[in-house]
Chain A
Amino acid sequence: MAQISTPAQERSLWDRFIIGLRNIAPIYIVLILLLIGIGTQNPTFLEPAGFLNLLRRAAPLMVLTAGQLFVIVTGGFDLSGGSLMSLTVIGASLLINNDPANTWWAILVLFGIGILVGLLNGVIVSYLNVPSLIATLGMLLALRGAGLYWTGGAPRGYLTDNFRMFGRGWLEPFPVIERFPYAVLVLIVVSAAAIYLFNQTNLGRQLLAVGDNPRASRLAGISVEKLRIIAFVLSAITAVIAGILQGGFGGVNPDAGEGYELQAISAAVLGGAVLLGGRGSMGAAIAGALALEALFTLLNLLGLPKPLRDAVQGLIIIGAVAYAAYRSRRTR
């Protein structure tokens, strides 16, 4: 720490560069390297239109990760996010029933379902003392079953264009780059809101405190139960948003969110979140989601077969957690 106590004007340029680097979460550097890797394979991705396309594709995962992080920092998991995404897509196709006029209230109903699911998750974890892994795994199965039961196995309607606009449409005309995807707009709004909630409000600080030491938080007068419920509700809301984006991008698909819950957890971990709670950064987690999507794209561009892609993803997650553990051991 000797360098840090040196007055800034006395530091060499190199020292300042190193200090600056240290204050950047490693995921951002990984992300930049991945983007450079993609750029070498296919430069179109680094042009504005190509990059926006990458962001548009990554938007559902990035939004879901933002919600997941609220739960993770409290020391929990939300495994129900992916199946809530699927239920959102299936539900939208049923509620809208091919009539564009139904879109707006259908979206409200879907958010209602999401909030209900989040409340249920939170109450089960907080008051019934069911571990979140089990509670949300149960919710995952329940939502998947509900979706199947609701539709009888296959979706009954199309998604109307005004519903799909959020995931598929563009803001046109747009200065300089002609068109700007709505999905990226949604992503920016959600990210900004999540970062604000996490970093600038008491809620964010209290969520971290709950994850770090629930007992101490309770003694300090924080309502641990209430905060956990809020975290699950926030996570469920982002799952609904992610479902709307994903359904918009890809259309009706009963498995739209399959596997997304684990990807979101991976992304949060890549962004430096500690799985047992108490530590995490919102910006880095969202960047982690983009890095994960960039990694998939890069592996795709390199032409790797899917099993190898899965294996690489697994190794990277283990590596990231091992690194985080190593770092926290050193700082103690």
Chain B
Amino acid sequence: MFFKNVKRPWFLIFALVILVLGLVACGGGAATTTEEPAAEEPAAQEAAPTQEEPMAEEPAAEQPVAAGLESDAAQVKSEFFSQEQYDRSMRQMTMTPEGPADQPWIQMLDNPEMVDTSQYAKEGPYTFCFSNAGVNNPWRVVGWTTMQAEADLHPEIAELIHVDAEGSDEKQIADIADLVASGNCDVLIVSPNTTAALTPAIEQACEQLPVVVFDRGVFTDCPVSFVQPIGGYAFGEAGARYIIDNCSEDCNVLALRILPGVDVLEERWAAAKLAFEDAPGINVIGVEFGDGDNAKVKSIVTDYLDRFGRIDAVWMDAGATAVAALEAFEDAGQPYPIIVGEDQQDFLVKWQENNLSGIAPTFPTFQWRTPIIAALHIMNGEEVPAVWRLPQPVITNENLDQYVQPNMPPLHYAMCGCENMPDFPERWGGTQ
């Protein structure tokens, strides 16, 4: 073969080796230097230097050092935390919503201010236009299917024009401009890709026609109605609280996040972190990003099980990979942890089958029905809430059974509010 006659100076072999080791060493050095400023952040932003975290205690000699809440992945940037909204979310979780309990998508929380829409009243049939941030994950697939089914319920909606921004701010800004310029839209529904980038585009659209924004927010109150469930803080806090209440003293918690920098996900973690910091006996052994990838999450959990020998609870900022995390325990022959998931069917089925101790906060997909209903109210000149705050149900051990639907696909979200719609379950990929 080729290598037989090649003269290979042996020092070069070691040059590459030294390169690799050097890179690893550099990487290690860089990580330690970035840790220090990061560790100062929470103290600065929360203005609570008195809170010494339990992690600061000396780890036992044989115990591996856990970066836990001090690690880079655990930090929350101040732009992603608002004490006012946190308090508002916590308050709203305890409220009873107005409206029919069996139709949470038309329920409202917190006594909203109603807006007069008589200026927009119009005879049908209507053309609704929808600028969608993307259909790029199963949650959005279920939501979009549900929205179409809602539009089909109303014969006065002649057409629902859907433009998919494919997760790009630039495309969505152009999409909104095109929809407005076409002059075909009676009302514009927007699910913004990111908050700040889409604000000017939506402000411009507001000048031309009534706008309904839902799912993610914008920095303007020009939309006639803004539809959103309680939000990320409530989601994150519910899972963390369950762990704190149900895990005994000296509880090893592994926190798994998808990726940094997305407001709804940052809010979930910010709330959980606040709860964990205050809780005695909670030992956050790690905060890791799994990219929403099953294989990666499973590897991370396996490594932590190896390092720490025992994980008592797993907190997650989104449930898509909850089953993969549980499988890591199965493969390692370890008992299941207390688990925080979401309303995805694969997780609910596993939870029920194994009698797990779990909880599933939800960001309900039934919220995709509400903007269509709000837009119809506007077309009829009826009052709508300026901020339509939807309830955010939590699935618990007690009500789990009513949400498990083995006939639905593994990535179907149970909180779709779509069970009584025509063509259920086939339209959502299920079987009778």
Contacts and interface: CB of A to CB of B under 8 A. Distances in A.
Interface in A273-332: 279, 281, 295, 297-306, 308-309, 312, 315-316, 319-320, 323, 326-327, 330-331
15 contacts: A24-B13, A26-B12, A29-B17, A30-B20, A154-B411, A168-B331, A250-B293, A251-B327, A302-B27, A302-B28, A304-B31, A305-B34, A306-B291, A319-B20, A330-B7
Contacts of B141: 152-154
B10 A25 contact: no
Interface stretch (B193-201, B210-218, B241-249, B295-303): B295-303
A323 B20 CA distance: 12
B181 interface: no
B167 interface: no
B10 A22 contact: yes
A312 B303 contact: no
B428 to A, nearest CB: 10
Interface in B315-349: 323-324, 327, 331, 346
B303 A326 contact: no
Question: Chain B's interface: helix, strand, loop or mixed, by majority?
Answer: helix
B306 A42 contact: yes
A155 B30 CA distance: 40
Contacts of A309: 27
B410 A158 contact: yes
Residue among B28, B67, B297 facing the most chain A CB atoms (10 A cut-off) = B28
A250 B324 contact: yes
Given A33-B21, A53-B302, A316-B23, A302 B31 contact: yes
Contact of A303 (B21, B67, B299): B67
Contacts of B306: 42, 44-45, 50
Contacts of B140: 153
Interface in B1-38: 1-3, 6-10, 12-17, 19-21, 23-24, 27-28, 30-31, 34
B38 to A, nearest CB: 10
A30 B19 CA distance: 10
A31 B321 CA distance: 30
A281 B31 contact: no
Interface stretch (A112-120, A129-137, A252-260): A252-260
Contacts of B77: none
Contacts of B14: 29
B294 interface: yes
Contacts of A153: 135-136, 138, 140-141
A256 B31 CA distance: 29
Interface in A143-166: 152-158
A305 B306 CA distance: 20
Interface in B130-157: 135-136, 138, 140-142
A331 B7 CA distance: 7
Contacts of B3: 23, 25, 281
B72 interface: yes
Contacts of B331: 168
Interface in A13-50: 18, 21-26, 29-30, 33-34, 37, 42, 44-45, 50
A44 B306 CA distance: 7
A164 B9 CA distance: 46
Interface of A: 1, 18, 21-26, 29-30, 33-34, 37, 42, 44-45, 50, 53, 57, 93, 152-158, 168, 199, 208, 246, 249-256, 258, 279, 281, 295, 297-306, 308-309, 312, 315-316, 319-320, 323, 326-327, 330-331
A308 B409 contact: no
Contacts of A320: 16
A315 B25 CA distance: 13
Interface in B377-391: none
Contacts of A301: 303, 307
A312 B27 contact: yes
A-B pairs, 3 with minimum CB distance: A250-B294, A250-B295, A154-B138
B422 interface: no
Given A26-B17, A29-B13, A155 B410 contact: yes
Which of B8, B15, B67, B142 has the most C-beta atoms of chain A within 10 angstroms of its own C-beta? Answer: B8
B429 interface: yes
Nearest to B139: A154
B31 to A, nearest CB: 5
A323 B15 contact: yes
Contact of A315 (B23, B291, B297): B23
Contacts of A299: 24, 27
Contact of B30 (A156, A300, A308): A308
A24 B16 CA distance: 14
Nearest to B38: A305
A21 B13 CA distance: 9
A250 B298 contact: yes
B289 interface: yes
A155 B8 contact: no
B139 to A, nearest CB: 9
A153 B23 CA distance: 39
Nearest to A89: B294
Contacts of A156: 409, 429
B73 interface: yes
B303 A323 contact: no
Given A153-B138, A158-B410, A253-B293, A304 B28 contact: yes
